Structure 1
Amino acid sequence: MNDDLRTRLVMAARLAMSQPPAAEPPDGYLKRCEFCGQLIYLKQDWDGQWRPYESWVAGTVDEGEWKTHDCDCE
């Protein structure tokens, strides 16, 4: 392999390794509950089902805590 080709391959490999990995799409989003109006987090779980969770943004749970949203209107 000639030195010019080797240099280009090494540079391309370094560039590829320096790029951050592509961000994964979010698996959920914030919205208001249709029944009680509280801010909740809708999350697509590992099984593909969308489930409502309490939101730490709304202050109903601590950050990192997962508790399903359960309002009396359902």
Structure 2
Amino acid sequence: MSLVRENLLTQLNYTPYCGNASCVFGMPRTAFNGNQMECRCGWQSQFEPEFIEQYKAAQVELKQNEKAGAV
């Protein structure tokens, strides 16, 4: 598993950097749009739907742990 994928599953609200080497915004962190990670320049990640479902579930669990003070 790549470091980015590991971070997506283990760090609350983690998002990778833009993958567009010529991003006009200087390769900022992306935002999750509900289906993929997306940059303001229009670049989108291409994670498999199964991984996105894992990501969503992991983020819910991480948020619950944070609220419970377990993080």
Fold match, TM over 0.5? no
Which structure: greater strand fraction?
A: 1
TM-score, normalised on structure 2? 0.27
TM-score by length of 1: 0.26
Instruction: Report which of the two structures shows the higher radius of gyration computed on alpha carbons.
Output: 1
Name which structure has the greater RCO, CA cutoff 8 Å, separation 6+. Answer: 2
